[in-house]
Structure 1
């Protein structure tokens, strides 16, 4: 029960912190001026503040479950010393403290969105990135030592940040392309503009996710493909790679077909069909992305050498 709950909490933290970082950053590089003000294009204030608050709750719950699993205690009174020890004497505890501080900073920054939207989003994205990066300390990199540990953490953090940028962008596009938002030509033109602007950023994100994913595999498993795929870890990793390939196909469809089609349909004055097609594609891509994050949360609890079927 604790194992399933731990995986669920990891999934919640991954999705929540990726959204906090990725959505705030998306609003910075894709929107302009007053478009960054919450409610003008996206409900940034409620979503980012909610993500920061939820991140705190999930972090607390995750630490409690982790301490319970490690100590075997379930009573809160008996568990308290173990929680205190984890917070004050382990790297995971230090990363947890950094995450909570970053989440508080992000939440406070969002409160100033209406007064200084650009500055508040910059602070929120930076704090969200720090909170997201802290999750690397609960991954496989924590098992390494010395220089290898530093490099593994660096790769893990880059992988997390790139994934957060992708997930945040997908959520933003899904919100901008919802049926209610596609009732005016101005909103559809805004959607088309942000899709076009995301092309270069999206290509870089895919490159970072691919390269860091391969390097991370080499850190965890090594240059082998034989025995690992006979384990639970290997099966889940194969499914993750297959889903990522499906995401690349959907991203290519958006980039080379649906995006240009939307631009052309705007020039022709017949844009609703193209906009709805893009919306459906983004929603499917978002669902696949969440499934991948779920597999990442599960994989982080497994060892290739210890998860034989």
Structure 2
């Protein structure tokens, strides 16, 4: 039961912090001027403040659960000294404290009246909060320079994954039927899809490279033994889903995006917009499942699982 709760907490934290960073980052490179104002295109204030507050609460729950698991104490009075020790004397605890501070900073920043400034602060603080999750992963088991490199790879992987997930959620919201009532909104969606082309290409390259390097850090250059274990099966499912996301991303990039732009000239964009929305939703579902698998994989040891 405790393992299930731990995986659920990790999953919720991953999704929450990826959305916080990814949506804020999307607003910076896809929108401009008054488009960044909350409610003009996307509900930035409610989304970013909500994910920041929820992320802080989930982080507190995660720290309490880890302290309880490590100490064997469940009574708060008995658990308190263990909590203090974890928060201020362990790397994972310090990372949790930094995460909570960054999230509270984000929650305050999104209340600013300057939408551009608030998005920059939210993206930066959200990126710090998301990066702190690397200390909950396999990299924390390494030592020396290997540990530093593993953390670097993990952080890059988290950030680009967050950028991808945030973009998918933003596109799904922008492509809703109720949001596409005017030609101006259709043009805005088409422009956002076009601007994502370069960012999306960078995301795919970085997430692929860091994923392979991360596998080598955790497992090493071997396949046969690993893929007979639970860890290997989950990893195989993750890779298959990722390949499916790449196919959908290519479909959006080379077919549905250009189709939407051509449909604007003919003023018959309903079919193209609907096709793009369905593709994004399917890609988003696959991404969420992958995050769930990552949360599960983070609790497993490939060596112990194989044995």
Same fold? TM cut 0.5: yes
Partner of 1:202: 200
Question: Paired residue for 1:126?
Answer: 124
| Matching residue of 1:84 | 84
Instruction: Provide, for residues 94-129 of structure 1, a one-character-per-residue CA deviation record: whole Å limited to 9, x for no partner.
Output: 1011101111111111001xx211111001100000
Residue 301 of structure 2 aligns to a residue whose secondary structure is: coil
**Number of the residue aligned with 2:148:** 150
Partner of 1:290: 288
> Aligned runs of 1:175-190 on 2, under 5 Å?
175-190=173-188
Q: 1:79: Cα distance to partner?
A: 1.9
Secondary structure of the structure 2 residue equivalent to 1:301: coil
* Alignment correspondent of 1:107: 107
For residue 225 of structure 2, what is the aligned residue in structure 1? Answer: 227
| Distance (Å, rounded) in 2 between the aligned partners of 1:89 and 1:8 | 26
Cα deviation per residue 1:254-288 (whole Å; 9 max; x = unaligned)?
A: 01111111111111110011001100110110000
Q: 2:54 — aligned with what?
A: 54
Verify the 8 A CA contact 2:160 2:207 in the aligned structure 1: yes
Is it true that 1:36 corresponds to 2:31 in the alignment? no
Shift of 1:77: 2.2
Query: TM-score scaled by structure 1?
Result: 0.98
Partner of 2:244: 246
Once residues 150 and 270 of structure 1 are traced to their aligned partners in structure 2, the CA distance between those partners, rounded to angstroms, is 53
Matched residue, 1:19: 19
Please list, as runs of the form range in 1=range in 2, the aligned pairs for 1:153-168 lying within 5 A after superposition: 153-168=151-166
Q: Counterpart of 2:272?
A: 274
Partner Cα distance (2:64, 2:99) in 1: 15
- For the aligned residues, what is the CA RMSD? 0.9
Name the CA distance, whole Å, in 2 between partners of 1:219 and 1:8: 25
Instruction: Work out the number of aligned pairs and report it.
Output: 307
CA displacement 1:131-164 (0-9 Å, x = unmatched): 0000000100000000000000000000000000
In structure 2, how many angstroms separate the alpha carbons of the residues matched to 1:201 and 1:68? 41
**Which has the higher mean CA deviation after the structures are superposed, 19-28 or 71-80?**
71-80
Hey, what's the Cα distance between the residues in 2 that align with 1:19 and 1:284? Answer: 17
- For residues 93 and 9 of structure 1, the distance between their equivalents in structure 2, rounded to whole angstroms, comes to 16
How far apart, in 1, do the equivalents of 2:297 and 2:27 lie? 31
Separation in structure 2 between the aligned mates of residue 183 and residue 243 of structure 1, nearest angstrom: 33
**Structure 1 residue runs without a partner (length 5+):** none
Q: Could you tell me which residue of structure 2 aligns to residue 117 of structure 1?
A: 115
CA distance in structure 2 between the aligned counterparts of 1:54 and 1:95, rounded to whole angstroms: 17
Q: 1:78, CA displacement in angstroms?
A: 2.2
Distance 2:4 2:67 in 1: 15
Counterparts of 1:49 and 1:174 in 2: how far apart (Å)? 19
